[in-house]
Structure 1
Amino acid sequence: MSDITDYGSSVINDISGRFGLSRDAVEQMARAVANGGGTMAQFNIPELGGNGQWMAGGMTMVGDMFNHGLKAQVDSLCGALSAAMASGAFFMAPQTIAGSAWWPAELGAPASVGGQNTVRYAYFPQACRIAFDPGNGAPVILLDTLNHSIGGFSQQQSAPGDPFVGISFSSQFGQFALSSLPQVGPNMAAQPQTVAAPAEPGPMQSTPQPDPAPVPEQGSASSADIMGMIEKLGALHAAGVLTDAEFSEKKAELLQRL
């Protein structure tokens, strides 16, 4: 059973006749434009030169890069499909056209959307989320982007069992597969990324210094005691504990008590 609406089928037939393309080629492009939110498309359609990309008001790339006539045809075709999708749904599955959204409403507006064939994705940097629609009727998957600042998406050959069909993204840390991101529930708020603060330095530890020999009060020690104190001060001076000035000062003070 086809998922194309009556409106979508009528527009596809009309555009097919106007552009001289098969209905199948126009339908494939319509799905690519719908997956791209009406503003972009990634496609692989032999009738239109194989692999290509289109962005509204921007870049159009086709397999035959120097075929300017084909580029113009693809640009006009995608523009016509995008304009028609703003007036009605082409497919029974939800699509991101004219403000309707297939992702959870609390995520807001995406910074970028994309897709290929039946799968699609949308990136929400403020919420630190990527919404991914497998395109097979399964629920939309939400991924936590952690502290990645995503700059773009690409698709490569997927590994067996990869639910994200080889889609990867680039960030300030490099290139990563979507499968590397943790999945989260629809009501799980993004957790702020925290960076561990460097440990506070401990108090400066100084090398314990021995107290200089106390200078006895005048009249409280004999000459022998004072001479002994001077000898101890000399030892401390020789060990580097007392500076020349400190040694001379203490020595003079003791000599005054003789």
Structure 2
Amino acid sequence: MPTITPEIKANLTATAERQGFSESTVTDLYLALVRGNGTMAQFSSPEVGGAGQWMRGGMLMVGDMFNNNLKNRVGALFNDLVTIYEQRPIAEVATFVPHSANAEVDPDAKTSEGIPLAWGQPSSSGSQNDTRYAYYPQARRLLVARNDESWVYDTGDHQIGGVQQQNDWGAMTFTSQYGTVNLNSLPVVMKDGKPL
């Protein structure tokens, strides 16, 4: 479970007061956002209309789907939670996704998956089931990690927008400007941090 530092807890408390939700609901939604690497969240809470899903870029579904007032409030809450997520201390940031695209980076520095920090911030990242992914457009690389294994794919001229579906490992597909991209159609260039 992600660590809630005293600073993050104070921010969550202030957000709960400002947005008019209970602190426990705000904390639950924040943890859902952390599990979704800051780009998506799946949640369930009576206070926010039951089961729902939020994705960066504007997609929001709440269980009480005709309650536009509630939907707007939950959307505003996630805007605040994204800010808290992005401003968390560097020690709390998982090495899967580099924290800052603007920081000076040692050209040889790597994440725990062997991804060069010089690749910068991914433009798209998330998780589904037990699989995480991050797309690095500048390097034209897609990182997919599952359990203790990771693969890096060369995306060529595809601009990956996000995972489309994942029924099983072989059926994982992504969206690009050309439509659907099957993961197995991309060449693997790195496995568990080691170039192939």
TM-score by structure 1 length?
A: 0.51
3-state secondary structure, aligned to 1:78: helix
User: Which position in structure 2 is the counterpart of 1:6?
Assistant: 6
User: Which position in structure 1 is the counterpart of 2:107?
Assistant: none
Instruction: State the alpha-carbon separation in 1 of the partners of residues 194 and 32 from structure 2.
Output: 29
Instruction: State the alpha-carbon separation in 1 of the partners of residues 166 and 151 from structure 2.
Output: 22
Specify which of 154, 164, 169 is matched with residue 145 of structure 1.
Answer: 154
Residues 14 and 69 (structure 1), Cα distance of their counterparts in 2 relative to 1, 3 Å cut = same
Q: What whole-Å deviation, never above 9, does each CA across 1:212-245 have from its counterpart, x for those lacking one? A: xxxxxxxxxxxxxxxxxxxxxxxxxxxxxxxxxx
Instruction: State the alpha-carbon separation in 2 of the partners of residues 157 and 143 from structure 1.
Output: 17
3-state secondary structure, aligned to 2:158: coil
Give 1 or 2: higher strand fraction: 2
Where do 5+ consecutive residues of structure 1 fail to align? Answer: 190-258
Q: 2:54 matched to 1:45?
A: no
Instruction: State the alpha-carbon separation in 2 of the partners of residues 77 and 117 from structure 1.
Output: 24
Residues 154 and 65 (structure 1), Cα distance of their counterparts in 2 relative to 1, 3 Å cut = farther
Q: What whole-Å deviation, never above 9, does each CA across 1:236-257 have from its counterpart, x for those lacking one? A: xxxxxxxxxxxxxxxxxxxxxx
Q: Is the 8 A contact 2:126 2:132 kept in 1?
A: yes
User: Which position in structure 1 is the counterpart of 2:127?
Assistant: 115
Instruction: State the alpha-carbon separation in 2 of the partners of residues 90 and 75 from structure 1.
Output: 26
- Which residue type is aligned with residue 44 of structure 2? I
Q: 2:158 matched to 1:154?
A: no
Residues 173 and 81 (structure 1), Cα distance of their counterparts in 2 relative to 1, 3 Å cut = closer
Q: Give the greater-gyration-radius structure (CA).
A: 1
Instruction: State the alpha-carbon separation in 2 of the partners of residues 80 and 97 from structure 1.
Output: 21
Specify which of 167, 173, 187 is matched with residue 168 of structure 1.
Answer: 173
- Which residue type is aligned with residue 114 of structure 1? G
Instruction: State the alpha-carbon separation in 2 of the partners of residues 52 and 83 from structure 1.
Output: 18
C-alpha RMSD of matched pairs (Å): 3.9
Instruction: State the alpha-carbon separation in 2 of the partners of residues 28 and 167 from structure 1.
Output: 28
Q: 2:22 matched to 1:21?
A: yes
Q: Is the 8 A contact 2:12 2:23 kept in 1?
A: no
Q: Is the 8 A contact 1:8 1:90 kept in 2?
A: no
3-state secondary structure, aligned to 2:195: coil
TM-score by structure 2 length?
A: 0.64
| TM-fit CA distance, 1:92 | 3.6
| TM-fit CA distance, 1:153 | 2.2
Where do 5+ consecutive residues of structure 2 fail to align? Answer: 104-110
| TM-fit CA distance, 1:105 | 0.3
Of all paired residues, the percent bearing the same amino acid is 25
User: Which position in structure 2 is the counterpart of 1:99?
Assistant: 100
